[in-house]
């Protein structure tokens, strides 16, 4: 494995802690109707590095309004789950960001270790090119970079502009920037119902 942090449980714990703080903001705000939010996590079976994941990674943090007649679901942004994709966001980002930066051999090793099919990779690339660039999250982000980011090279073009000497640090920053795309209000609804990828 050429990216050691991918097998480091501490890396996933950090992502979980970021998700917990994003969730706490949502919980503290409460529902628009004034109701309190109760925890209503839903199960996920993320694919990726199983050995480094624990039970906390099998749940997406989410809430439900406690008030009868409302019961609205509120799902906070996440740095772990990139929409409904079955792979963890970090893996989707890494494999699509590094498609130009790795030797063919190293990339193939990573793909094989993670058991990602060529069709899945192809769908992820298409998602960046077609869906992500239409999202509200992207429109908000794009304006912050001068010179503009090359959309054809997303997410690699974004990753290389972030600060941090270590790849894992830049990946975490990138996942935080992307996290609004993981909520219904963020934009995954743009372009229709996302497929499971």
Between residues 71 and 129, which has the closer beta carbon with respect to Zn ion? 71
Cα–Cα distance for residue pair 153/134, rounded to 1 Å: 15
Nearer to Zn ion by C-beta: 63 or 127? 63
Q: How far is residue 100's CA from residue 62's CA, in Å, rounded to a whole number?
A: 36
Angle at Cα 54 formed by Cα 53 and Cα 58, nearest 5°?
Answer: 90
Taking residue 150's Cβ as centre, other Cβ atoms within 10 Å add up to 11
Instruction: State the nearest-atom distance from the C-beta of 35 to Zn ion, in Å.
Output: 4
> Minimal distance in Å, beta carbon 180 to Zn ion?
21
* Gap between the terminal Cα atoms of the chain: 23
Residue closer to Zn ion (CB basis): 64 or 77: 64
To Zn ion, the closest distance from the beta carbon of 67 in angstroms equals: 5
The alpha-helical segments, DSSP class H, found in the chain are: 9-29, 89-97, 104-114, 118-126, 136-142, 156-159, 167-178
Q: Which is nearer to Zn ion, 67 or 129 (CB)?
A: 67
Q: Which is nearer to Zn ion, 70 or 150 (CB)?
A: 70
Which residues sit at the interface with Zn ion, rule CB under 5 A? 31, 33, 35, 65, 67, 70, 72
Provide the greatest CA pair distance for the chain. Answer: 56
Work out how close the CB of 60 gets to Zn ion at its nearest, in angstroms, rounded to a whole number.
Answer: 20
Minimum distance of Zn ion from residue 189's CB (angstroms): 20
């Amino acid at each position: 494995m050429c990216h050691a942090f991918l097998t480091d449980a501490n890396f996933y714990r950090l992502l979980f802690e970021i998700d917990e703080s994003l969730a706490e903001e949502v919980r503290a705000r409460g529902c628009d109707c004034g109701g309190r939010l109760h925890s209503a996590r839903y199960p996920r079976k993320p694919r990726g590095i199983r050995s480094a994941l624990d039970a906390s990674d099998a749940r997406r943090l989410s809430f439900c309004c406690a008030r009868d007649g409302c019961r609205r679901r509120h799902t906070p942004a996440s740095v772990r789950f990139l929409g409904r994709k079955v792979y963890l966001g970090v893996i989707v980002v890494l494999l699509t960001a590094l498609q130009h930066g790795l030797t063919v051999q190293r990339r193939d090793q990573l793909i094989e270790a993670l058991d990602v099919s060529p069709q899945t990779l192809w769908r992820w690339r298409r998602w960046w090119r077609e869906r992500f660039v239409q999202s509200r999250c992207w429109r908000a982000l794009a304006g912050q970079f001068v010179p503009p980011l090359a959309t054809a090279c997303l997410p690699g073009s974004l990753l290389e502009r972030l600060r941090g000497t270590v790849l894992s640090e830049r990946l975490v920053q990138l996942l935080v920037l992307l996290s609004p795309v993981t909520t219904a209000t963020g934009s995954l609804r743009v372009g229709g119902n996302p497929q499971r990828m």
